[in-house]
């Protein structure tokens, strides 16, 4: 549940709407802009402002100084005011979205947010190079105010009338994983080349981390949040989990965790594990991601189980041979993730196993033939329960085959039997024609206690009992 956040206005439809009209109704109305500055300054004195309003206040101050200064300020002072406001706008948008262990370029984050690229270049020039000209800074300020209007004020005032913002498409993950796989194959075949390719492998890992950060930002944009408010930190875990799910979907594709060639899907006979060569290739990357994202292996296991329990696709033509080695390989990777998730905490590992077993039993149930490959899911379930008598007994009870079918077709004989039963019920004489009184303080006759259920007794007048509404204690 999202916690309430503190806002400076008492009502969006009155104060914030009035502020928006003061700022954007008439560009040449200087008095309205001064009223807006005073309102924002008063709000800032009582509560922290969202970054959008902070940037609006800084831009308005620069615009008013440029218009009403008498005598006019020097060009250098105006350039510094404009540049500082634009730098604060861009940095305040980008910095909260610098997620992950490795920094991303400001331009890539701004592109995901829909910020004009030339504003990012202007921010870079104002920070590290010669200060831009006054005319260019004035144009950037007007562009920034227009961007704030369409990306903050209008969506906040009328969220239902604004079309949802389309996030920039994510980079394909397959080329990154393919590059990592190629480098790991070279190192696995010749250990002497490990030091030579170590930096390139680390570079691919950093690229994977940047991809996760891009996916997390895409989740922010998808729900219409551009880091305007910093109080909703609880939602960040959900957005990172969404990014990890997209990453796991990339690992589940053929050619990643599951080799493309069926000949390479050779499983060890002594354990329920993936192919040894695949574990040697992918385990370093999976463990490195898990070190920075503790929920990664748990998410990967959940995605594999969801895939195995998905309904089988409806096809008109039955294929001659069905490839079950792909699902079998994924099931073994799910087992590997559970065993690797937290080897130091045996209780957590047991809880994870129990959760996975519950998911498998719930998904299989009596209609196990409806899943994509029930035999593979059943094999994973048996491997998880092996060595634990309690889980093994629960699995045998819950997955016990049904002795009879609970669903059958109705016939005319069933309707006849139902009519006969209805007639029998209607023929029973009704002995209770008058309802008993609601309360009986003085029962006319004493009823033996044997007629009541165990633990019940009939109170008489000497008990002092009085009728009262439910929930009221009468003395």
Q: What SS3 string covers 212-243?
A: HHHHHHHHHHHCCCCCCCCCCCHHHHHHHHHH
User: For residue range 372-396, what is the model confidence (pLDDT) as tens digits?
Assistant: 567 888 888 888 887 777 777 766 7
**Angle formed by the axes of helices 194-222 and 276-292, nearest 10°:** 50
pTM metric for this prediction: 0.65
What pLDDT was estimated at residue 40?
92
Each of the 475 residues of the chain gets a pLDDT tens digit; together they read: 456 677 788 887 788 888 899 988 888 888 888 999 999 999 998 888 888 899 999 999 998 888 875 656 788 888 899 999 999 999 888 888 877 777 778 888 888 888 888 888 999 889 888 888 899 999 999 999 999 998 888 888 887 765 555 556 778 889 999 999 999 989 888 888 888 888 998 989 988 988 888 888 877 665 555 545 544 444 667 778 888 888 999 999 888 888 888 888 888 888 888 988 888 889 899 988 888 888 888 888 889 988 888 765 554 444 444 567 888 898 899 888 888 865 555 455 557 777 888 788 777 765 554 555 678 888 888 888 877 777 777 667 666 655 555 556 777 788 888 888 888 888 877 655 555 554 444 544 455 555 556 667 777 777 777 777 665 555 5
> What does the domain layout of the chain look like in residue ranges?
12-157, 174-312+323-398
Q: Is 465 helix (H, G, I), strand (E, B) or coil?
A: coil
Report whether 25 contacts 64 (CB < 8 A). no
Residues forming beta bridges with residue 258, ordered by sequence position: 254
Q: CA-based Rg of the chain, rounded to a whole angstrom? A: 35
What pLDDT was estimated at residue 232?
46
Structure tokens at 437: 């009184």
**Angle formed by the axes of helices 234-251 and 174-189, nearest 10°:** 60
Long-range Cβ contact pairs of 393-402 (< 8 A, separation 24 or more): 394/357, 394/361, 395/357, 395/361, 398/361, 399/361, 399/364, 399/365, 399/368, 402/366
């Amino acid at each position: 549940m999202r916690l309430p956040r503190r806002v400076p206005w008492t009502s969006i439809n009155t104060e914030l709407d009035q502020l928006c009209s003061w700022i954007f109704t008439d560009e040449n109305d200087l008095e309205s802009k001064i009223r807006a500055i005073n309102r924002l300054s008063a709000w800032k004195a009582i509560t922290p402002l969202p970054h959008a309003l902070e940037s609006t206040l800084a831009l308005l101050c620069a615009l008013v100084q440029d218009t009403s200064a008498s005598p006019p300020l020097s060009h250098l002072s105006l350039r510094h005011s404009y540049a500082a406001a634009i730098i604060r706008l861009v940095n305040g948008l980008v910095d909260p979205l610098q997620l992950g262990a490795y920094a991303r370029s400001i331009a890539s984050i701004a592109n995901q947010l829909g910020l004009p690229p030339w504003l990012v270049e202007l921010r870079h020039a104002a920070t590290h190079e010669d200060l831009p000209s006054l005319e260019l800074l004035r144009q950037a300020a007007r562009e920034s105010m227009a961007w704030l209007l369409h990306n903050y004020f209008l969506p906040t005032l009328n969220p239902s009338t604004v079309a949802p913002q389309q996030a920039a498409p994510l980079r394909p993950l397959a080329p990154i994983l393919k590059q990592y796989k190629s480098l790991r194959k070279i190192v696995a075949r010749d250990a002497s080349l490990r030091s030579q390719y170590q930096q390139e492998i680390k570079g691919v890992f950093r690229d994977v981390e940047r991809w996760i950060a891009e996916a997390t930002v895409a989740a922010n944009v998808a729900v219409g949040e551009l880091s305007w408010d910093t109080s909703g930190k609880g939602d960040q875990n959900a957005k990172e989990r969404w990014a990890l799910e997209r990453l796991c979907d990339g690992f589940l594709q053929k050619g990643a965790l599951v080799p493309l060639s069926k000949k390479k899907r050779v499983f060890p006979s002594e354990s329920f594990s993936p192919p040894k060569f695949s574990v040697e290739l992918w385990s370093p990357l999976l463990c490195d991601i898990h070190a920075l994202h503790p929920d990664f292996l748990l998410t990967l296991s959940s995605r594999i189980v969801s895939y195995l329990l998905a309904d089988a696709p409806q096809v008109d033509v039955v294929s001659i041979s069905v490839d079950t080695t792909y699902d079998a390989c994924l099931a073994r990777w799910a087992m590997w993730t559970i065993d690797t998730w937290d080897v130091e905490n045996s209780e957590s590992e047991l809880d994870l196993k129990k959760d996975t077993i519950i998911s498998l039993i719930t998904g299989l149930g009596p209609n196990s033939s409806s899943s994509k490959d029930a035999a593979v899911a059943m094999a994973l379930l048996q491997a998880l329960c092996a060595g634990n008598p309690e889980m093994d007994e629960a699995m045998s009870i819950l997955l016990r085959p049904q002795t009879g079918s609970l669903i059958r077709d109705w016939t005319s004989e069933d309707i006849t039997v139902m009519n006969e039963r209805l007639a029998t019920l209607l023929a029973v004489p009704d002995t209770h024609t008058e309802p008993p009184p609601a309360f009986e303080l003085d029962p006319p006759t004493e009823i033996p206690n044997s007629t009541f259920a165990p633990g019940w007794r009939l109170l008489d007048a000497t008990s002092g009992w009085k009728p009262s509404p439910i929930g009221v204690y009468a003395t």
